């Protein structure tokens, strides 16, 4: 009798777009697709950890009631030496409200997380010990959150080096790797606004965004209580004003998103998954927490659309598919280019 194939999930980074992972996992569960391994990056690690500890039901109910204002209420504004927001205490709260698990050894499904060593630039794979320390590291988006010290190394978001950790899922032992990439299809600010108007409830949510911007203003004002009047006035003006120029948060998160999209394209060309899910979330900003239901639905439908291929790959006599759906020709070109460069380098070194 042929052995049952194991499935590994590579859950990518993407901040608020990460709720799509909930829908993707739900779709797999509906079809009784086993999930034997999980490799996560940033928000993918957060959702993967909660799922591996039991169930996503509590998390889904929570995020469906959440909006941007509530999200920012979970973070403390700090003096911007290494990041504007302190997530240390709140990550624990946001995780512990959904599970009692706090160590890798307690998880029901093997899970690895990706972080980046801020000094060396190396990819760091977190696989044991305290889950909360690991989560703070893999989710520490540079510029917004302060880096996290784990065993003497300052770690930040793993999306800087491996936004969709396909290779890690494969190395864990997965026969079939299903990857969920949240950073494909980036679009311009102008086009994003046009598309967002078509999403139900967007007008109301736009009002909510103004509210949580005011919340941030109040937090900054409270933090700088002893600052001079001119500084407090300047903070108020900068954060309240409406402008066609992207604000600092949008600038940081969008820049990171662009970088991650480029890195992901190259990584997937070199090391493609068997199934690639790319939810259509290009219209959502990285910190757009007001369209949770839309993100979950996109993740769910993305998996459903490829369910036939997933089931076929799990058949005992089927081999691993080497092509990837998102852009076979582009991936091939990138892989050939990278392979060619390596060959040229090796040739020069041998001479």
Instruction: Using the predicted structure, report yes or no on whether residue 13 has a pLDDT greater than 90.
Output: yes
222 assigned to some structural domain: no
Structure-model confidence comparison of residues 101 and 244, the more confident one:
101
For residues 108 and 256, state if they share a domain.
Answer: yes
57 with 139, same domain: the answer is yes
pLDDT in the model for residue 338:
46
Please give the residue range of the domain that contains residue 339.
320-350
| Residues 187-226: b if buried by 16+ CB within 10 A, e if exposed | eeeeebeeebeeeeebeebeebbeebbebbbebbbeeeee
Is residue 102 domain-resident? Answer: yes
The reply to whether 329 and 309 lie within a common domain is no
CA distances (Å), origin 255, targets 18, 136, 194, 252, 308: 17, 21, 21, 5, 36
- Residues 184 and 326 both lie in one domain: no
Quick check: 53 pLDDT over 60? yes
Structurally, the chain folds into a number of domains equal to 2
Among 13, 15, 16, 42, the active-site one is: 42
pTM for this model (two decimals) = 0.75
How far is 283 from 281, CA to CA, in rounded Å?
A: 5
Give 109-143 pLDDT, tens digit per residue: 999 999 999 999 999 999 999 999 999 999 988 87
User: Mean per-residue pLDDT for 307-334?
Assistant: 65
Q: Average of pLDDT values for 73-89?
A: 53
Q: How confident is the model at residue 343 (pLDDT cuts 50, 70, 90)?
A: low
Task: Determine the Cα–Cα distance for residues 178 and 310; give it in Å rounded to an integer.
Answer: 8
157 among known catalytic residues? yes
- pLDDT at residue 282, as a whole number: 78
Q: What is the pLDDT of residues 186-219, one digit of tens each?
A: 654 444 444 444 445 545 554 454 555 555 555 5
Whether residue 327 sits in one domain with residue 286: no
| Segment 253-308, tens digit of pLDDT | 778 888 888 999 999 999 999 999 999 987 787 667 678 899 999 999 999 999 99
* pLDDT value at 80 more than 60: no
250 and 328 share one domain: no
Q: Is a pLDDT exceeding 60 seen at residue 158? A: yes
Q: In whole angstroms, what is the distance from residue 51 CA to residue 47 CA?
A: 6
Q: Which of 13, 45, 140, 157 is catalytic?
A: 157
Give yes or no for a contact between 39 and 11, defined as CB atoms under 8 angstroms apart.
Answer: yes
Instruction: Tell me whether residue 162 is in a domain.
Output: yes
Q: What is the pLDDT of residue 216?
A: 53
pLDDT at position 327 is 42
Q: Does one domain contain both 162 and 134? A: yes
1 has pLDDT over 80: no
Q: For position 21, what pLDDT does the model report? A: 98
Q: Does position 73 have pLDDT exceeding 70, yes or no? A: no
Asked whether residue 342 is assigned to any structural domain, the reply reads yes
Lowest mean pLDDT among 154-163, 179-188, 324-333: 324-333
Rg of the chain over Cα atoms, rounded to whole angstroms, equals: 21
> What's the chain's average pLDDT?
78
- Asked if residue 166 has pLDDT above 90, the reply is yes
227 is a domain residue: no
CA angle 180, 85, 128 (to 5 degrees): 50
């Amino acid at each position: 009798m042929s052995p049952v194939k194991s499935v590994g999930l590579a859950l990518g980074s993407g901040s608020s777009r990460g709720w799509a992972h909930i829908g993707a996992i739900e779709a797999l569960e509906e079809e009784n697709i086993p999930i034997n391994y999980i490799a996560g990056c940033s928000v993918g690690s957060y959702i993967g950890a909660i799922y591996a500890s039991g169930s996503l039901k509590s998390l889904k109910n929570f995020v469906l009631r959440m909006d941007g204002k509530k999200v920012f209420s979970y973070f403390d504004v700090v003096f911007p030496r290494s990041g504007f927001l302190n997530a240390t205490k709140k990550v624990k709260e946001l995780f512990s409200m959904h599970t009692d698990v706090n160590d890798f050894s307690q998880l029901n499904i093997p899970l690895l997380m990706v972080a980046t060593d801020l000094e060396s630039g190396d990819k760091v794979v977190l696989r044991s010990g305290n889950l909360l320390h690991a989560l703070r590291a893999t989710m520490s988006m540079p510029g917004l959150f302060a880096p996290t010290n784990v065993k003497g190394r300052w770690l930040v978001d793993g999306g800087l080096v491996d936004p969709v950790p396909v290779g890690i899922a494969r190395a864990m032992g997965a026969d079939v790797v299903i990857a969920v990439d949240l950073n494909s299809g980036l679009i311009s600010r102008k086009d994003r606004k046009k598309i967002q108007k078509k999403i139900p409830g967007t007008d109301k949510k736009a009002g909510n965004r103004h509210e949580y911007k005011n919340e941030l203003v109040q937090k900054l004002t409270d933090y700088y209580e002893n600052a001079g009047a001119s500084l407090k006035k300047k903070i108020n003006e900068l954060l309240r004003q409406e402008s066609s120029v992207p604000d600092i948060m949008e600038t940081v998160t969008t820049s990171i998103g662009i970088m991650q999209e480029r890195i992901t394209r190259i990584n997937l060309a070199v090391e493609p998954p068997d199934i690639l899910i790319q939810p259509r979330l290009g219209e959502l900003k990285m910190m757009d927490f007001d369209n949770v239901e839309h993100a979950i639905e996109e993740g769910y439908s993305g998996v459903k659309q490829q369910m036939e291929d997933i089931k076929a790959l799990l058949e005992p006599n089927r081999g691993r598919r080497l092509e990837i759906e998102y852009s076979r020709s582009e991936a091939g070109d990138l892989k050939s280019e990278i392979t060619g460069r390596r060959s040229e380098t090796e040739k020069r070194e041998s001479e």
